[in-house]
Chain A
């Protein structure tokens, strides 16, 4: 138990900057969305949806580290990259289509 607590605490102190970073990002997220008109809620949700596709970066990173003999990891990694790409590409394209319609009329 003591080991566990020590490990947890040291993790937090080693990552102090990261934790500040997280707290500040939360506020940026709230600020950025504040006061958006209702009409833009759907495209905004869709755009945000595309942005969390950034998780693909993690998937690619895992994949680059996979040992070539580890078939299960290769399959899982391939799937992860594929799904992440769907999220990113589909998300941005569908958002663009929605917003295209707003642009036609001023």
Chain B
């Protein structure tokens, strides 16, 4: 009876995940979709706890197994603690810090999958099938965990330079092959019920993993953690969204292996859905940046050579004063704002909205040009601007705005850099060559707000600054724009 009810709980869970994800693909239904997924998850979790049943044989008689209250206490304690911490962190985090947090939560899921592997190994020696699922879950979960932590540190700025060991590609591949090889051997060796170096018969007559097998298990765990670090460390910060998305699908896969182990349908559906959807999402993001996934993982990005390549084109840089800029904008017909991560960091999304409304009042047409990878994640900029009440239809995607830029009087680039760098079109030696960009150099005037002349996130120089039509408007985005708004109000 209980087990049938549990199956129904898992069925409901699985269906809500599919419907939830589907609804999240549409702006109108997205929020409801997320809540439906959360409801399904709650049902699956509560079902697992309250509908648990197992029979044990005591003195030759089958009896239902009673779970000790202490264990229930630990489970509820962990859930309560996790809910409080998770809820508070998610509620308190600033919108700009969102990508880091997603990465962190992803790592937690990976670690959870890895711990399950560590705990289940000992009970399953001698059975190849379950061992495949256990070791796969352990390895993938661990890679996902340590990789996500590195991604978190990178987005956070704690670790902002890609660190590359000499010949890191070869080294990484070797480590990966070694981890896979040892894992394969490990499954094979401990799956063989007659292998006495791996399996011992305990005092109770049941098979146990030998201490050598347990040490190997932890060695594999550690090696997978190290590989996760080595995998993520060489990848530049600008590519982190792709990496997070990839690690996200890894964790999905690890969860699916857990489902395989327990023949648990909700873990399987949830895990596989995320695994396949996450992989597709990763590829879509790569496409938006016009870089193949292999390039993101193995390719160099933001190296020193690029700066040198651009340096011979250097011309002079003009700067513009706030009063001149106010006049220029006031008498424009059409202004396009290109927001970047710098805007988010400076918390200037509210001021920019104020500027937009002020200009609109004076009959200037204002639009925002959103590059697919503006900010730190695709769609990140839309979230930020939506936070400050910018109308949804004012946010125009790259392909739609590019043809309009020629008739634009002023393009105001705020805290964006790589997404407007013409080197992506003109300089084949540039690391971002081939990435579609916002063609702001077509506009009549280009104003670039930046704090200093430092390079963008990809670590490369921007030719746009030397364009004769371009002027620099130096200063912190929030402060500079507030001054601009004040100046405009006096006119």
User: Which positions in A face B, CB cutoff 8 Å?
Assistant: 3-4, 7-8, 11-12, 14-15, 18, 21-22, 25-30, 32-66, 68, 73-74, 76-106
Give CA–CA (A105, B395) in the complex, Å: 12
Q: How far is the CB of B109 from chain A (nearest CB, A)?
A: 4
Alpha-carbon distance A79/B370, docked complex (angstroms): 41
Tell me if B27 and A102 are in contact (CB < 8 A). yes
Chain B residues within 8 Å of A99, by CB: 24, 30-31, 34
Stretch in B265-273, B308-316, B421-429, B457-465 with 4+ CB within 8 Å of A: B265-273
Q: Does B415 contact A (CB under 8 A)?
A: no
Query: Which residues of B from 287 to 319 have beta carbons under 8 Å from A?
Result: 288
B188 neighbours in A (Cβ, 8 Å): 4
What residues on A are CB-neighbors of B274 within 8 Å?
29, 48-49, 51-52
Cβ of B268 and Cβ of A21 under 8 Å apart?
yes
With A8-B129, A52-B251, A58-B264 already in contact, the answer to whether A86 and B105 are too (CB < 8 A) is yes
A40 touches B27 (CB 8 A): yes
Give the interface size bracket for B toward A: 35 or more
- Asked if residues B24 and A86 are in contact (CB atoms below 8 Å), the reply is no
Residues 55 to 84 of chain B near chain A (Cβ within 8 Å): 67-68, 70-71, 74-75, 77-79, 81-83
A81 nearest in chain B by CB position: B78
> Please, which residues of chain B bring their CB within 8 A of the CB of A105?
386, 389-392
9 tightest A-B contacts by CB? A85-B82, A29-B276, A11-B129, A90-B86, A54-B270, A89-B86, A93-B90, A41-B378, A81-B78
Instruction: Check B154 for interface membership: any CB of A closer than 8 A.
Output: no
| A100, B264: Cα distance in complex, Å | 33
Q: Is B340 an interface residue (CB 8 A)?
A: no
> Does B320 lie at the interface of the complex (its beta carbon under 8 Å from any beta carbon of A)?
no
Task: Say whether B109 contacts A52, CB under 8 Å.
Answer: yes
Binds A, one of B157-165, B175-183, B254-262: B254-262
B258 A58 Cβ-Cβ under 8 A: yes
Instruction: Check if B338 is an interface residue, CB within 8 A of chain A.
Output: no
Q: A59-B116, A98-B98 are in contact. Are A92 and B45 (CB under 8 A)?
A: no
Which residues does chain B contribute within 8 Å of A65, judged by CB atoms? 54
A-B CB pair tally, cutoff 8 Å: 371
CA distance A29 to B99 in the complex (A): 22
Q: Are B106 and A87 in contact (CB under 8 A)?
A: yes
| Closest residue of A by beta carbon distance from B141 | A55
List residues of B (86-114) whose CB comes within 8 Å of A's CBs.
86-87, 89-91, 93, 95, 98-99, 101-102, 104-106, 108-109, 111-113
- Is B377 in contact with chain A by the CB < 8 A criterion? yes
Min CB–CB distance B254 → chain A (angstroms) = 7
CA distance A101 to B267 in the complex (A): 30
- Contact partner of A53 (CB less than 8 A), chosen from B41, B262, B280, is B41
Q: Which residues of B contact A73 (CB under 8 A)?
A: 119
- CB neighbours (8 Å) of B262 from chain A are 58, 61
Chain B residues whose C-beta falls within 8 Å of the C-beta of A4 in the assembled complex:
128, 188, 191-192
CB pairs A–B below 8 angstroms (24 shown): A4-B191, A15-B263, A25-B273, A28-B273, A36-B25, A40-B26, A42-B379, A43-B24, A48-B278, A55-B255, A55-B267, A62-B119, A66-B119, A68-B70, A76-B118, A80-B112, A80-B115, A90-B90, A90-B101, A90-B108, A96-B34, A101-B383, A101-B386, A105-B389
On chain B, the residues within 8 Å of A33 by CB distance are: 21, 25, 277, 280-281
Q: Across the interface, do B267 and A58 meet the contact criterion of CB distance under 8 Å? A: yes
Pair B86/A56 contact, Cβ less than 8 Å: no
B77 partner, pick from A18, A58, A68, A78, beta carbons under 8 A: A78
Across the interface, do A68 and B379 meet the contact criterion of CB distance under 8 Å? no
Q: State which of A26, A41, A68, A106 has its C-beta within 8 Å of the C-beta of B281.
A: A41
B13 adjacent to A45 (CB under 8 Å)? no
Shortest CB–CB separation between residue A103 and chain B, in angstroms? 6
- What is the minimal beta-carbon distance from B257 to any residue of chain A, in angstroms? 9
Kindly provide the distance from the CB of A31 to the nearest chain B CB, expressed in whole angstroms. Answer: 9
Please measure, in the bound complex, the distance between the C-alpha atom of A37 and the C-alpha atom of B285, giving whole angstroms: 11
Asked if A82 and B78 sit within 8 Å, CB to CB, the answer is yes
Determine the distance from Cα of A74 to Cα of B450 in the docked complex, in whole angstroms: 53
CB < 8 Å: which of B20, B255, B276, B395 contacts A30? B276
Point out the residue from A18, A35, A95 that lies within 8 Å of B34, measured CB to CB.
A95
The listed residue (B45, B90, B252, B260) touching A97 by CB distance below 8 A is B90
- Interface flag for B17 (CB, 8 Å): yes
Which residues 238-262 of B sit at the A interface, judged by CB distance below 8 A?
A: 244-245, 248, 251-252, 254-256, 258-262
Residue of A38, A46, A47, A104 near B372 (CB, 8 A) is A38
Q: Which of B108-151 contact A (CB under 8 A)?
A: 108-109, 111-113, 115-116, 118-120, 127-129, 132, 141
A90/B89 contact (C-beta < 8 A), A42-B378, A54-B271, A60-B49 known: yes
Q: How far is the CA of A87 from the CA of B272 in the complex (A)?
A: 17
Question: Interface code B460-481, partner A: CB below 8 Å = 1, 0 otherwise?
Answer: 0000000000000000000000
A69 to chain B, nearest CB (A): 10
Q: Is the CB of A45 within 8 A of B248?
A: yes
Residues of B within 8 A of A32 (CB): 18, 21-22, 25, 273, 277
Contacts of A79 in B (CB 8 A): 78, 111, 115
Smallest Cβ-Cβ distance to B288: which chain A residue? A38
Q: Is the CB of B25 within 8 A of A100?
A: no
Question: Does B339 lie at the interface of the complex (its beta carbon under 8 Å from any beta carbon of A)?
Answer: no
- Please give the distance in Å from B231's CB to the nearest CB on chain A: 18
